[in-house]
Amino acid sequence: MDLGLSGKTVVVSGASRGIGRAIAESFAKEGARVALVARGEQELATLCASLREQGADAHAVVADVQTEAGAAAAIEKATALLGPIEILVNNVGGSLGSGKFADVSLADFRRVVDLNMWSAVYMSHAALGGMKQRAAGVILHVSSISAREYCSSAPYAAAKAALSGLTKEMAVDLAALNIRVNAIAPGSILFEGGSWDRRSKSDPARIEKMKREELPFGRFGTPQEVAEVAVFLCSARASWVSGSTVVVDGAQGRAL
């Protein structure tokens, strides 16, 4: 299916690995022009070089989008490289491991919320001016099934739940400007260097038990499986989808 994304200008935050990397790669395969945003300069440079070898128009933007200034700088540089931004994917996120409410410090709670929720707010706000001028745009947040399932990290669950709620509010508020806003909520996704990869190596017996008892298909999802849904939602093929949080979890029951 031709998604009609050739030549579209796309910004993907948290693009250096995992789900963000897969989303950026999928946009590039569709012919989109992509700005990849992350803090790690070397990882971004390597990924951009790989995409360019495949004929993609890919650019690295090194920035910390957990701050308002960092997000504004990222959008400003991406716009200078690509022109007006048509699609924004807010993928920055993560937790600090176990974060049971009684044990987590307020400083760590704030760090996780800044990473997962405020980064999306800052990036969306920075990109909104150009989208408003053109009366067109798409914003996609990467949430998690942790927004609705117990995951043993109160800060992460709270931040992702806030992001899902924000998605609906933004979608309604921005519809008059012809800007669509959606979210995806991945389940447990396995990729090299990710949290499930580390757990699989440190406690293989527990992970095998989890796959048998908590993952109906008996395996983890892949970043590419999430990316395919993300790219579709950002395309004109999903023109009547806005305000939705689409779950991509293989019918997973819990977020542990």
Residue 119 lies in a domain: yes
249: helix, strand or coil: coil
Q: Could you tell me which residue, 253 or 51, shows the higher pLDDT?
A: 51
| pLDDT-based confidence at residue 255 (cuts at 50, 70, 90) | low
CA distances from 204 to 151, 196, 239 (A): 19, 10, 43
Q: Give the separation between CA 253 and CA 256, rounded to whole angstroms.
A: 9
The total number of structural domains in the chain stands at 1
DSSP 8-state code for residue 243: S
Residue 203 lies in a domain: no
Please say if 122 is a catalytic residue. Answer: no
Residue 3 lies in a domain: no
Predicted TM-score of the model (pTM)? 0.94
Using one digit for the tens of pLDDT, what is the confidence trace for 111-131? Answer: 999 999 999 999 999 999 999
Q: Give the separation between CA 111 and CA 67, rounded to whole angstroms.
A: 11
Q: Could you tell me if 179 and 88 are in contact, meaning their C-beta atoms sit under 8 angstroms apart?
A: no
Domain with 244, as residue range(s), is 9-191+222-248
Q: Domain with 65 in it: what CATH number?
A: 3.40.50.720
Which is catalytic among the residues 27, 122, 156, 191?
A: 156
